[in-house]
Chain A
Amino acid sequence: MTPELKGYLVVTVLKMIVVFSGTMVGVMMVVWAERRVSGWIQLRLGPNRVGPFGLLQSVADGLKNILKEEVYPAYADRVLFMLAPAIAFTSAMLLFAVVPFAAPLPITFDFTLPILGQFVYDRVTPMVIADLPIGFLFIFAISSLGVYGVVLAGWASNSKYAFLGAVRASSQMVSYEIALGMSLIVIMILAGTVELDDVIAMQQDTAWLILPATFAFMLFAISALAETNRLPFDMPEAESELVSGYHTEYSAMKFSMFFIAEYASIITMSALMATLFFGGWDIPFTTWDDVRVGTAGVSSEPSLVKTIATLGVFTFKTILFVLCFIWIRWTLPRFRFDQVMALGWKVLLPSALVYIMVIATAVWVLVDVGEALSFMDEMILFAINIVVIGVVLLVVDRGRLIVGSSAPLRARGGA
Chain B
Amino acid sequence: MAITVKVMQRPESGVSYLRAAAKGLAITFSHLWKPTVTMQYPEQTSTDDYEISPRWRGTHRMLTDEQGRAKCVACGLCPQICPANCNKLVPGEDEDGHRYPLIFEIDEFRCVFCGYCQEVCPEEAIHVGVHYENAEYDRSRFVYDLERLCAQTHPVSSLWDPSDPKGE
Chain A contact residues, CB within 8 Å of chain B: 39-45, 327-328, 330-332, 393, 396-397, 400-401, 403-408, 411-412, 414-415
Stretch at the interface among B17-25, B98-106, B111-119, B144-152: B17-25
A41 to B35, CA, bound (A): 10
Q: Are A40 and B32 in contact (CB under 8 A)?
A: yes
B134 within 8 A of A: no
If A328-B25, A401-B19 touch, whether A43 touches B31 (CB-CB below 8 Å) is: yes
Assess whether B13 is in contact with A327, with CB atoms less than 8 Å apart: no
A407 with B13: in contact, given A45-B38, A331-B25 (CB under 8 Å)? Answer: yes
B28 touches A331 (CB 8 A): yes
Chief secondary structure at chain B's binding surface: loop
| Alpha-carbon distance between A404 and B13 when the two chains are bound, in angstroms | 9
* B residues adjacent to A (C-beta < 8 A): 9, 11-19, 21, 24-25, 27-29, 31-32, 34-38, 40
Whole-angstrom CA separation of A332 from B25 in the bound complex:
8
Quote the shortest CB–CB distance from A278 to chain B (angstroms). Answer: 20
Chain B contacts for A400, CB-based, 8 A: 13-17, 19
**What residues of chain A lie closer than 8 Å to B17, measured between beta carbons?**
396-397, 400
Task: Report the Cα distance A393→B19, complex, angstroms.
Answer: 11
12 examples of A-B residue contacts, CB within 8 angstroms: A40-B32, A43-B35, A43-B36, A327-B28, A331-B28, A332-B25, A397-B16, A401-B18, A405-B13, A405-B16, A414-B9, A415-B9
Chain A hits for B24, CB < 8 A: 331-332
> B15 — nearest CB in chain A belongs to which residue?
A400
A407 proximity list for chain B (CB < 8 A): 11, 13-14
Q: Is the CB of A41 within 8 A of B11?
A: no
Task: Decide: B14 and A406 in contact? CB cutoff 8 A.
Answer: yes
Tally inter-chain residue pairs, CB-CB below 8 A.
Answer: 68
Cβ-closest chain A residue relative to B18: A397
Nearest-neighbor residue (CB-CB) of A411 within chain B? B11
User: Within the complex, what minimum Cβ distance (angstroms) separates A330 from chain B?
Assistant: 6
Across the interface, name the chain B residue whose C-beta is closest to A38: B28
Evaluate contact between B13 and A411: CB separation under 8 angstroms.
yes
Chain A residues contacting B14 (CB-CB under 8 Å) are 400, 405-407, 411
Query: In the docked arrangement, what's the CA distance between A60 and B35, Å?
Result: 27
Compute how far the CA of A43 lies from the CA of B33 in the bound complex, rounded to whole angstroms. Answer: 9
Shortest beta-carbon distance from A44 to chain B in Å = 5
Complexed CA–CA distance, A41 and B29 (Å): 7
- For B19, the chain A residues whose CB sits under 8 A away are 397, 400-401, 405
Q: How far, in whole Å, are A398 and B106 apart by their CA atoms in the complex?
A: 68
CA distance A401 to B16 in the complex (A): 6
CA distance A41 to B30 in the complex (A): 8
**In the complex where A331-B25, A415-B9 touch, is A41 in contact with B31 (Cβ < 8 A)?**
yes
CA of A311 to CA of B153, assembled, Å: 61
> Which residues does chain B contribute within 8 Å of A39, judged by CB atoms?
36
Asked if B29 contacts A393 (CB within 8 A), the reply is no
In the complex, the answer to whether A43 meets B12 with C-beta atoms within 8 Å is no
Q: Are B38 and A44 in contact (CB under 8 A)?
A: yes
CA–CA, A7 to B30, complex, Å? 52
Q: What's the Cα separation between A46 and B12 when bound, in Å?
A: 39
Report the nearest A residue to B33, measured CB to CB: A40
Closest Cβ of chain B: how far from A346's Cβ, in Å? 15
Q: How far is the CA of A21 from the CA of B56 in the complex (A)?
A: 52
Q: What are the nearest 9 A-B pairs in CB distance?
A: A400-B16, A407-B14, A331-B28, A45-B38, A411-B11, A407-B13, A41-B28, A44-B38, A405-B14
Chain B residues positioned under 8 Å from A401 (CB to CB): 16, 18-19
What A residues does B35 contact at CB under 8 A? 43
For the complex, give the distance between the alpha carbons of A44 and B19 in Å: 26
Residues of B within 8 A of A330 (CB): 28
Q: Across the two chains, which residue of chain A brings its CB closest to B16?
A: A400
